Amino acid sequence: MMRKGQGMSGLIALLDDVAGIAKVAAASVDDVVAQAAKAGAKAAGAVIDDAAVTPKYMHGFAASRELPVIWKIAKGSLRNKLLYLLPVGLALSAFAPWAITPLLMLGGGYLCFEGAEKVYHALFPHDQTHVFEEDEPGDPAHLEERKAAGAIKTDFILSAEIMTIALAAIPPSNFWMEAATLATVAVMITAAVYGAVALIVKADDVGLHLAAEARFAATRAFGRGVVRAMPHVLTTLTLVGTAAMLWVGGNIIVHGLDVLGWGAPYDLIHHVAHGIGQGVSETFSGAVTWIATATMDGIIGLGLGLVLIPIVTRGVVPVWTALRGKS
């Protein structure tokens, strides 16, 4: 009888331990998801740019091949993040944390350059530096592979920015927490970006189908509205992506300078933004302060990007092209 009671008490103790472990694991999962969401939000500019750029690679495909190509690019993007960038990010965090801020600023400078280049080309249209390959006659399978490979290469640059920004946004913790958080960021952002790309690319087809085949007049009208709206949606996405790149890029540079010891730009922006926020009612003060901060960060990002345009196009690009041996 005594042994049976001891066995029951041991089982209860074991169940208590299992319940405690489960609670810790659940809390850890919650922490990972919360940190991943916060880190992903910090990478908004690069994420929106990724979603805005990828649809350009879909030109020239039959409608039946668009989703398979998007899936192929999405798998390549996930491979970029998990197999290459995640180990590099963890190695930096463990052995060279001092390098994260300079690398983050390098990515921020790239965002500023890309955003400023889009603004410059919108104001002064001419042949762009970044030209997407034109559709060429030939084997459709070869065209598909070539365009998917090009999109995955472009994604690698944007994914590097996203993962670096996410790494900098994660609070100090143990190796496994950082790894789980970065992996979660990679999966969440890849799913969000390429899910959005799939919706954008197929919206025209869905609209045309509804306009031609729907049973009810209201549904057909909705389909026609979708078709008419898509060019405006793409334009808006490009504008929002450009603004986000400049804002995030400028913010990264300002905060990086502050971390490296030159806090004057950060302090000035903080002081001016809070002064503007205090000039409105308390209800809108926080929103106005944020908008003022983002605007000033964006102006700094645009200015830096405009400075970088001739440096990149006349210096970096020719040198890189010569090293690759291509015309």
CA dihedral sign of residues 176, 178, 183, 188: positive
State residue 295's pLDDT score: 92
Residue 131 banded pLDDT, cuts 50, 70, 90: very low
Domains of the chain: total: 1
State residue 118's pLDDT score: 87
Residue 46 has pLDDT above 70, yes or no: no
* 118-132, 154-168, 267-281, range with the lowest pLDDT: 118-132
State residue 304's pLDDT score: 95
State residue 302's pLDDT score: 94
Domain that holds residue 219: 10-324
DSSP label at residue 56: G
State residue 133's pLDDT score: 43
Is the residue at 1 inside a domain? no
Is the residue at 5 inside a domain? no
Is the residue at 42 inside a domain? yes
Residue 126 has pLDDT above 70, yes or no: no
State residue 280's pLDDT score: 84
* 20-29, 188-197, 261-270, range with the lowest pLDDT: 20-29
| Alpha helix segments (H runs only) across the chain | 2-42, 44-53, 63-79, 86-95, 100-123, 140-169, 175-213, 217-259, 264-277, 282-311, 317-324
State residue 11's pLDDT score: 46
Percent of the chain scoring above 90 in pLDDT: 13
Residue 15 has pLDDT above 50, yes or no: no
Average pLDDT, the chain: 77
Is the residue at 3 inside a domain? no
pLDDT one-digit tens code per residue, 259-286 = 899 989 999 999 999 999 888 888 888 8
Cβ-count burial of 235 within 10 angstroms (0-12 exposed, 13-18 middle, 19+ buried)? exposed
List of residues 6+ apart from 159 with CB closer than 8 A: 50, 77, 80, 81, 85, 186
Residue 39 has pLDDT above 60, yes or no: no
Please give the single-letter amino acid code of residue 169. A
**Average pLDDT of 41-46?**
57
DSSP label at residue 54: G
State residue 247's pLDDT score: 87
Residue 42 has pLDDT above 60, yes or no: no
